[in-house]
Amino acid sequence: MTALSINLNKIALIRNSRVTAIPNIVDHAKMCVSAGADGITVHPRPDQRHIRAQDCFDLQSALDVELNIEGNPFTEPRASDQSHVGDYPGFVALVQAVGPAQVTLVPDNDQQLTSDHGFDLAKDGKRLEPVVRVLKDIGCRVSLFMDPEPSAMATAANLGADRIELYTESYARAHESGNFEKTLCAFQETAEAAFAARLGVNAGHDLNLSNLPDFTIPHLDEVSIGHAFTVDALRWGIANTIPRYQQALGKNL
């Protein structure tokens, strides 16, 4: 069955709107797990606009489910400009210190409001390969954030990745229009190509309760959902929202 990992970035964004520890990230992660989430995802950026480096340590020590840390593997250490926030140690150094079950490498930067494309392996493959090796050596499962391009899956596998995470915004936009079959086909073909290359398949970005039931791709190991989950949790509460997402994944609760 497909695992449901909840992304806590938007919970952290609310906290960071004031100098406060409310909402508490660990407490909300535990509420998600108690309600049935299979894992927790965070995406700490160098500017620490939402999830902070310290949150990653706190979550890893407090949770008994998989922690997935997302981020750009090429980001360097950065001093914090806020006295109450610790410095950002650089992505690889952070992951090495925390030791999450999974790390998802994403080609984002400070100018992007959110992740908006997958890796171009023809351009970044040589830089990625040693990073993938370092992260696997500390015991992390390594996933690459990728667009739905079947031809890129063998290259991802050759770099040493364990999984890919399909960037699903194009599917979400097509689903909104009501004409998503052609777009979905590209994701299905990419998932088959990933499976043939012995890669696991994750997916995430703008998946929600409306489009998730129609996201019928094969070999789907995990979905990561944050923005839509947070909006729905404001309406129904965490305890009622997690089961709705599990049911959207086809699970009988």
Catalytic residues: 43, 70, 205
Angle between the N-to-C axes of helices 227-236 and 238-248, in degrees from 0 to 180, rounded to the nearest 10: 130
- Residue of 11, 34, 33, 7 whose CA lies nearest to 24: 11
| Cβ atoms 133, 93 nearer than 8 A | no
**Beta-strand pair 163-167/66-71:** unpaired
Query: How many Å apart are CA 197 and CA 61, to the nearest integer?
Result: 34
Ramachandran bin of 178, using left for φ above 0, alpha for ψ from -120 to 50, beta for the remaining angles: left
**Beta-strand pair 141-146/200-204:** unpaired
Q: Tell me the CA distances in angstroms from 75 to 56, 64, 68, 71, one per residue in order.
A: 16, 28, 17, 8
